[in-house]
Amino acid sequence: MIHLSGLRVLYGSFAAVDGLDLDIRRGELFGLLGPNGAGKSTTIRVLIGQRRPSAGKVTVGGFDVVREWAKVKPIFGYVPDRENHFEEFTGRRNLEFFARLYGVPRRRAQDCLAMVELDEAADLPVRGYSLGMRKKLLLARALLHEPQVLYLDEPTANLDIHSAEVVHRILRERVKLGATIVLTTHDMDEVERICDRVGIVCRGKLVALDSPLALKQEHTERMVDVTRPDGERVVFDLDADSGRRALADLVVAGGVAAMRTREFDFHATFLKLTGQAFE
């Protein structure tokens, strides 16, 4: 559905995206991760037609985003990281305005408001909305025309647990209906729970691409924390022969008071792959 081939975006002499190749399949929920300045936002900006690639080709639904921009626009919905509503309008009027632009019935605005559980606040001015409500209104707006492709920039930031669950449920439903979703997020749990595949970019390059589970299994270090009877704590690396042997010897000798395996941690996987603190 989304095809990036040799995508390169330059800001002066700095390559924000440096030869990115990526295929995102129809009906896939794809997570795009990376540290600060990795090129995620620039990639999204290219996908929504707000930045021309310096080199390479990007197609969405078979249409070139540069040359066939008008055909690409109706295909996608976009949830930016920064809310952009008409503050003086009510939530309903905001949605109704965009519904008219998309040529969808006004009733659809009400449906979308109900979908994100904003129907009760629909007739309040947006300037009175909380950050979470504004975020949900962005999602409702992006869903107005039931797009085939949805780009979401941190869709659950500032949302409470319940609202985040609502968003996750909506995204899963959209995927079931065949929509393709690309999201960027800082929430590793969210990535693990809802993404079918994850692409990790660093310094403009794709450094990993697989399902969250596969990435964890491939990259997480296998460690065992042991507490000895005298209270001393020892860590054994099971990937090393010496570590496995030392742990076996200690168990046989009855020198283990407590033992705990380290859980698979996608955060650790990310740190290992990027070598940088997460943004």
Partner 1 sequence: MRLYVLHALVVKEAQRHLANRGGIVLAMLLVAAAVLLSVFAPEEATGGTGMVGGVHHCFVEFDRASPLVEHLKENVPPELKLQIVFRELAKADEINGIIVYPTGTGALQLRQDTRVPDRRPAVKVDIWHPEGDPSALAPYEAWFWKESRRFFAARAREKLSTADLPPDPDFGAGSSWLVLEAHARLQERVEAARGTKEARPLVPDLVIDRKGLGGRVLDFRAAIATGMVVFALYFACVYLLPTLNCEERERGVLLAQALSPASPAEIITAKFLFYPTAGIVLAAIIAGVYKVAVLKSLFFWLSLLAVAGGFLGIGMTVATLARTQRAAFMGGMCYLLSVSMVLLICSTNGIPFLPYVAVEYHGPRILHAALAGEVQTYHWHHLLGAIGLAAAWLAAAGWLFRRRGWQ
| Site residues for partner 1 per CB under 8 A | 48-50, 70, 73-74, 78, 80, 82-89, 93, 97-98, 100-103, 125, 141
Give 126 or 206: the residue with its C-beta nearer to partner 1.
126
In the bound state with partner 1, the residue whose beta carbon lies nearer, of 129 and 236, is: 129
149: CB partners within 8 A, 6+ apart = 1, 2, 60, 61, 75, 76, 77, 179, 180, 181, 182
Q: Which is nearer to partner 1, 93 or 205 (CB)?
A: 93
- Dihedrals φ, ψ of 7, to 5°? -70, 130
Listed residue (43, 22, 74) closest to 204, CA to CA: 43
Looking up tokens 């042991």, which residue turns up?
A: 226
Instruction: In angstroms, give the least distance from the CB of 99 to partner 1.
Output: 9
Backbone torsions φ then ψ of 46, nearest 5 degrees? -65, -40
The minimum distance between CB 98 and partner 1, in angstroms, equals: 6
Q: Which is nearer to partner 1, 135 or 216 (CB)?
A: 135
In the bound complex, what is the minimum distance in angstroms from residue 208's beta carbon to partner 1? 30
Shortest CB 145 distance to partner 1, Å? 8
Q: Which is nearer to partner 1, 83 or 119 (CB)?
A: 83
Q: In angstroms, what is the minimal distance from the CB of 155 to partner 1?
A: 16
